[in-house]
Amino acid sequence: MARQDESCRGDPLPENTADDTAVGASMKSAVSDASIRQLRRSLVRWEKDNFAEFPWRACHNHWHCIAAEVMLRRTAATQVVPVFQWFAAKYETAEAFADDNEAAVFGQLGLRQREREFRKLAETLRGKRIPREPAKLLELPGVGPYVAAAYRCFHLHIRDVIVDTNVVRLYGRYWGFETDGGTRRKRWFIELAERVTPRRRFWWFNYALLDFTREICNQRPKCDECPFSARSCALGRFAGGGRRP
């Protein structure tokens, strides 16, 4: 089954290191406030015409909301849609799911190994309110930093910062820094993502990030369709992509 562009969400947060601190200091001065404003502006404008109407984005049942975010970890959104619709119609509560010993969600997503953890999540939430605080969310089975942040941001409308490998790739291309599998765990990167995430309408910005990195700036960037000017994106400039100013 297809996976979302190698998103690796929900891993433990990073250790800080001396090297990390040095890179962080240089990144702080390299990334200007003006370039952050430009990125935000371009993304939120793009999102106006491109917001993806996935069913969990109009979801008010919090059990379904957190389940959707868990399903979306490392899985393509389009692949999750039919499974989520089936799941939401069948299991109104965590108890309903936990009581059905035959229930299988992740098998349908080709991720059978995550089934047991999801069942533990349902058992843990049996008869309980889902917590709002990051530390308490992170104690739940199968809930890592990405799922906790997405649940808080999109379903509770509490400001939080979305970091996954797709976001790392976009920021690396835009500001022209090298990235690897460990970048999202670096403190300097998390600080950059914190700086980029707006205080107001953060949820709209974060939707834009997810939609844009899925549709345009993905593993095969569509620089010709990109709303960023070639002058503003470091990779677009070198690749000759991006709309010319």
**CA gap 67, 118 in Å, rounded:** 8
Closest to ligand SF4 by CB, 142 vs 241, is: 241
Q: Which of 173, 192, 214, 219 binds ligand SF4 (CB under 6 A)?
A: 173
Instruction: Determine the 3-state secondary structure of 240 from DSSP.
Output: coil
Which amino acid makes up residue 103?
A: A
**CA gap 128, 131 in Å, rounded:** 9
Under the binding rule (CB under 6 A), the answer on residue 216 touching ligand SF4 is yes
Closest to ligand SF4 by CB, 42 vs 79, is: 42
**CA gap 162, 148 in Å, rounded:** 9
Size of site (CB under 6 A) for ligand SF4: 14
Under the binding rule (CB under 6 A), the answer on residue 43 touching ligand SF4 is no
Under the binding rule (CB under 6 A), the answer on residue 145 touching ligand SF4 is no
Alpha helix locations (H) across 75-133? 77-90, 94-99, 115-125
Under the binding rule (CB under 6 A), the answer on residue 210 touching ligand SF4 is no
Positive or negative, the CA dihedral 12, 13, 18, 20 is: positive
Comparing CA positions, the residue from 219, 127, 204, 217 lying closest to residue 175 is 217
Q: Which residue is nearest to ligand SF4 (CB)?
A: 236
The stretch among 21-29, 67-75, 145-153, 234-242 that binds ligand SF4 (CB under 6 A) is 234-242
Q: Which of 56, 106, 174, 175 binds ligand SF4 (CB under 6 A)?
A: 174
Q: Which residues contact 25 (CB under 8 A, 6 or more apart)?
A: 188
Least Å from the CB of residue 245 to ligand SF4: 12
Q: Which of 142, 144, 145, 242 binds ligand SF4 (CB under 6 A)?
A: 242
The stretch among 49-57, 73-81, 102-110, 214-222 that binds ligand SF4 (CB under 6 A) is 214-222
Neighbours of 30 (CB within 10 A): 13
CB-CB contact of 17 with 157 (8 Å): no
Under the binding rule (CB under 6 A), the answer on residue 236 touching ligand SF4 is yes
Under the binding rule (CB under 6 A), the answer on residue 39 touching ligand SF4 is no
Instruction: Determine the 3-state secondary structure of 179 from DSSP.
Output: coil
Least Å from the CB of residue 167 to ligand SF4: 12
Under the binding rule (CB under 6 A), the answer on residue 241 touching ligand SF4 is yes
**CA gap 122, 16 in Å, rounded:** 33
**Footprint of ligand SF4 (CB under 6 A):** 173-174, 216-217, 221-223, 226, 228, 233, 235-236, 241-242
